Each structure stands twice: as C-alpha cells, then as structure tokens.
Amino acid sequence: MNILIALDGSECSKAAIDFVLARPWLPGDSFLIVHVVEPIPADMGINYVPTCTTLCDNAVFEAAHSLTDDAKARLEARLPDHPVRCEVVSGMIKGEIIDLAKTWPADLIVMGSHGRKGVSRLFLGSVAEEVLKDAPCSVEIVKSDQHEHKHA
C-alpha cells in the first residue's frame, strides 16, 4: 500500500504523523511525506495572480524540508524496513495533494484537519474536506483537538 502523508506544520499534521506511527503496517507498505508551499499572490490591481515563491523565500522551503525530514526520520525509526520519501512542492495545496496521489499512486492519504467551524471555516475553507471530495483513493483525516479520526 502507498500512503501519502500531507503535512503543514500544524498540530493537526503532527497528530497525523502520530496516527501513522501508531498503526500497524504491512511489510510492502511505503510512504510519501508531502508539504505544499502555496504561491504568494502578486497584487495586479483588482486581481491577483498566484506566483511561484522567489529566492527570498528560501526560508519557507528550508522550513518545509526540515518538517518533512523530521517526519521521515520518525517514520524510519519506527518502520525501518519501509520505504519513506519526502517531497516539497509549490502550488495550490488541494491540487498538489490530489495530483501526487494520482501520479504516485497513493492508496491512502493521511492528513490533519484544523476542525474549524462557523465563520472561520466559511472564510478559510477546509483543505481536508476538498481533498476528501476529489481524492482518487481513501482519505484518513486526523483531528488533533478531539483525537478523532474520519475515514472515507
């Protein structure tokens, strides 16, 4: 089984890694740890255009690599016989996760959810919900605030 783990550096994504570490896995299972760096919008008058991050944003990519490398080290320590690799990509989060899940191909996506409700959810949306709707495979959503898991 190919397991894609989407991380964003939040407590929710830490809970997702903890969830993966606590599960039993079969000998052939492999893992892909992903962090998506969103483009910085460039102001173009009344419209904005997402642009790729620039060289001055190297710190963002360094932090992303540090995040994925730390998660990889934890997985390799717990599951030494399983292949684990990392990818840091730039783009819109939902689209990049779905694209990677299709091209790798993933059998399961594990990701955290902030569990936002009400107005904050209306304005900020839910990446986890959008991934759940369009994923080509099963999705495990881990909520850190209530330690509950959703599976679809």
Residue range 26-46: mean pLDDT, rounded: 81
Q: 128: pLDDT confidence band, cut at 50, 70 and 90?
A: confident
Mean pLDDT of 87-105: 95
**What pLDDT band is residue 74 in, cutting at 50, 70 and 90?**
very high
What proportion of the chain, given as a percentage, has pLDDT over 90?
62
pLDDT cut 70: percent of the chain above it: 75
Kindly state which CATH superfamily the domain 2-147 is placed in.
HUPs (3.40.50.620)
Of the two residues 41 and 90, the one the predictor is more confident about is 90
Q: In terms of Cα–Cα distance, which of 124, 133, 8, 148 is closest to 71? A: 8
Instruction: With cut-offs at 50, 70 and 90, classify the pLDDT of residue 147.
Output: very low
The single-letter code of the amino acid at 140 is E
| Predicted pLDDT of residue 45 | 52
* Beta strands 30-37 and 2-7, pairing class: parallel
Q: Are the C-beta atoms of residues 56 and 40 closer than 8 Å to each other?
A: no
**Buried b / exposed e across 54-86, counting CB within 10 Å, b at 16+?**
eeeeeebeeebeebbeebbebbeeebeebebeb
All structural domains of the chain with their residue ranges:
2-147
Query: Which of 14-23, 27-36, 38-47, 83-92 bottoms out in mean pLDDT, i.e. has the lowest?
Result: 38-47
Average pLDDT over residues 47-62: 63
**Residue range 83-110: mean pLDDT, rounded:** 96
Average model confidence (pLDDT) across the chain: 83
Instruction: State the pLDDT at residue 89.
Output: 94
Burial per residue of 11-34, b for 16 or more beta-carbon CB atoms within 10 angstroms, e otherwise? ebbbbbbebbeeeebeeebbbbbb
C-alpha of 31 from chain center? 12
Q: Worst-scoring range by mean pLDDT, 60-74, 98-112, 124-138?
A: 124-138
SS3 49: strand
